[in-house]
Amino acid sequence: MFLSFITGWFIDNCMNTGGNHAFSTTFSAFFRLKLLQFFDGKNFLTRSDFSIYELPFIRKILYIFSLVFVHHFSLFMLEVFKVSFFSKIILLKTIFSSIFTTILCIVYFFFRTIKH
């Protein structure tokens, strides 16, 4: 969680966004273990050498998409910062950017497995 906070803080300092990225990355890191438990069960808690590369492809995609969705949703809600402004635009922006980011992560995992 500390590493995610530092990453978000560094992005906030470079983009002058006032803590939005630090909150969103820390928020998604907070839900990371809960999402791993949901998609893999309790198997990863009993093993010390767990790797995301061991997950089946569909579970890996769903895990990445849900983690990216949590991050983007919290980021876009902080950008608007009004609950009354919550509309289909924020939800569509979150879904489309999450899909695009998930595709980038899948491409990264694909090329990483080819390299090994």
User: Is it the case that residue 27 has pLDDT exceeding 90?
Assistant: yes
Q: Which amino acid is at 38?
A: F
- pLDDT bucket at 16, cuts 50 / 70 / 90: confident
Q: What angle do CA 17, 23, 26 make, to 5 degrees?
A: 135
* DSSP conformational letter for 31: T
Cα(73)–Cα(66) distance, rounded to whole angstroms? Answer: 10
Q: At residue 25, does pLDDT exceed 70?
A: yes
Question: Would the pLDDT of 82 be above 60?
Answer: no
Q: How far apart are CA 97 and CA 18, in angstroms?
A: 21
Q: Is pTM, for the whole model, over 0.85? A: no
Q: Would you give the DSSP letter of residue 54?
A: G
pLDDT bucket at 73, cuts 50 / 70 / 90: confident
Q: What angle do CA 107, 109, 112 make, to 5 degrees?
A: 105
